[in-house]
Chains A and B, each alone.
Chain A
Amino acid sequence: KNEVEQSPQNLTAQEGEFITINCSYSVGISALHWLQQHPGGGIVSLFMLSSGKKKHGRLIATINIQEKHSSLHITASHPRDSAVYICAVYGGATNKLIFGTGTLLAVQP
């Protein structure tokens, strides 16, 4: 079993829909990252969380440390949100970054 699990693996939505991507992890962590990768493109850091909730524009990220779970929400989705979203955690006693396998999001007009 992977230490970081994302769901769903693939997601297709209609423009304007509210989207949720989930990330569960099995290790103790000091921080959790949400990353965005457009097709053929580089990786952009969206959020770094250690507790609570953060919001940036239409994106909201939450984390529940006790339940070892984080969610990334996109409100009023748009085709330009189509990308791979990757969850990554810094595992407890190490300085290594452990990645989920990503969620491929396609937002159709």
Chain B
Amino acid sequence: EAQVTQNPRYLITVTGKKLTVTCSQNMNHEYMSWYRQDPGLGLRQIYYSMNVEVTDKGDVPEGYKVSRKEKRNFPLILESPSPNQTSLYFCASGWDVNTEAFFGQGTRLTVV
């Protein structure tokens, strides 16, 4: 089954404790992206990747890092999480920017 898998689904952590949210797709897609969703602000793009070892900033990259060492995985790293990073996060993949996007189930992160 074609899917994008995020882990964990829910995470509560403390300020400053490094964490990684994983994202994996099994469709051999080249394009992958991370978004956060906040009430009243909607979805905003954090980082995206056009292919292996090719990543670029979205609209809200501050406080986040990503890597794309292999095509299927695109982890989101929060080196020092802060409460303003409490949000619902989505990973997505597609063949490229002009094709259908497949979204992961979402990760609800709370930073206290």
Chain A interfacial positions (CB closer than 8 Å to B): 30-31, 33, 35, 42-45, 48, 50, 86, 88, 90, 95-102
Distance between Cα atoms of A50 and B98 in the complex (Å):
8
Distance between Cα atoms of A98 and B90 in the complex (Å):
14
Return the contact of B103 from the options A31, A44, A48, A100 (Cβ within 8 A): A44
Enumerate B53-67 residues with CB–CB distance to A below 8 Å.
56, 58-59
Distance between Cα atoms of A96 and B45 in the complex (Å):
7
Decide yes or no: A42 and B98 within 8 Å by CB, A86-B42, A95-B50, A99-B43 being known contacts.
no
**What count of chain B residues pass the 8 Å CB interface test?**
26
Q: Which residues of chain A are within 8 angstroms of B22 by Cβ–Cβ distance?
A: none
Contact across chains for B105 and A97 when beta carbons are under 8 A apart: no
Pairs of residues from A and B, 5 with the lowest C-beta to C-beta distance, nearest first: A43-B103, A99-B43, A101-B42, A31-B98, A42-B105
Contact across chains for A97 and B97 when beta carbons are under 8 A apart: yes
Distance between Cα atoms of A50 and B104 in the complex (Å):
24
Chain B interfacial positions (CB closer than 8 Å to A): 31, 33, 35, 40-45, 48, 50, 56, 58-59, 90, 92, 97-106
Q: How far is the CB of A27 from chain B (nearest CB, A)?
A: 13
Decide yes or no: A31 and B42 within 8 Å by CB, A42-B104, A44-B103 being known contacts.
no
Contact across chains for B99 and A43 when beta carbons are under 8 A apart: no
CB closest residue in chain A, given B6: A42
Distance between Cα atoms of A87 and B33 in the complex (Å):
17
